[in-house]
Structure 1
């Protein structure tokens, strides 16, 4: 069984548990094609992932006209229309090329067996969370799933983390936020919660250490020895 005062592990999804960039990129390019706009490589689109679907769409739209001479701007209606197109394409192909990062499932199962309570806090739209984790047979592992549209605020705002504590009836001291993005670390700091930063995933080309998580790991399986060492 787990030791120490930490009982709940809060995980980001995209870039932390799942490399979803291939399917997100495919849907973004389908959206751009339907709007007769320039498409981009998967590697370029990877750099835009991490702040939710609408921000991803906005970045794609802006980059698609970035090299044009005209000073083009998109209205809110145009952005929302593009977002609807993107979400339709993405919902049709959520888990075609997306893969769990190495060791994620084995590590999650081990943490659950040790007695940790697990939850997902992502900026991804809520509608996609359940079908994605079901595709990888992870559903029974998580007590709570919060998406970017579950509450009135999303990461880096602390509200999702504080809401998770309330729902799970635990204090922030009993939780750790684990993620690959500055949004995860900043949300944890704002909630007065400890955090673990992961160096892989999507952090806009920045070093996750810049945002000073309490611990930093290069691979997901390193979670177990870290938790054993720090909280034993």
Structure 2
């Protein structure tokens, strides 16, 4: 087996191990994605494996994981259909690997066209930067998102700067055929992100769950997957008949 094939096999094992861990924690949507990606990698390795004993072992493992993935998908679909789906992710203090793409990416499918963000703390520069990074994820995803609506609190200390930066984000999004609507509420408290494909994500700390990087030249400053996090809880629901406009 070549180094490349060995690397693919190692990636498959890592993904499937993570799938089992997520499955055990009842983080089913994450588990399903890991199962699907891990199975595909194992199938890629199977195509180039010459030893029959190893090929047989791979086939057996693929069959087992595919069976679990199919049952898991059926369970998720049933829970979504009845409006009972609930998944909880606990992000531990100082843990890494929780960038926006990993947290939200699996929900950004081809049926998603509109997103509503309710977060009272899109005020300071780093919070506005977090919101921009979230918008960038939507723009580069496969979802044909054309409308993003933000409801946040006004920055009483410098609302003009807050408005200016949000206007800049809106202007930039228009270049990608995405309309940004911004509303302010002084009494807003809850943090919730609603996708019009039915997914609802509630994060205890909103989008601002990352710790500050030690410097602008520290690992994790640009790549949020490498940025340590504050402890927070993410609750994920699906409401088939609850869609933002």
Judge same fold: TM > 0.5, yes or no.
no
TM-score range, shorter chain: under 0.3
**Bigger relative CO (Cα 8 Å, ≥ 6 apart):** 1
TM-score for both structures, normalised by structure 2: 0.24
Normalization by structure 1: what TM-score?
0.25
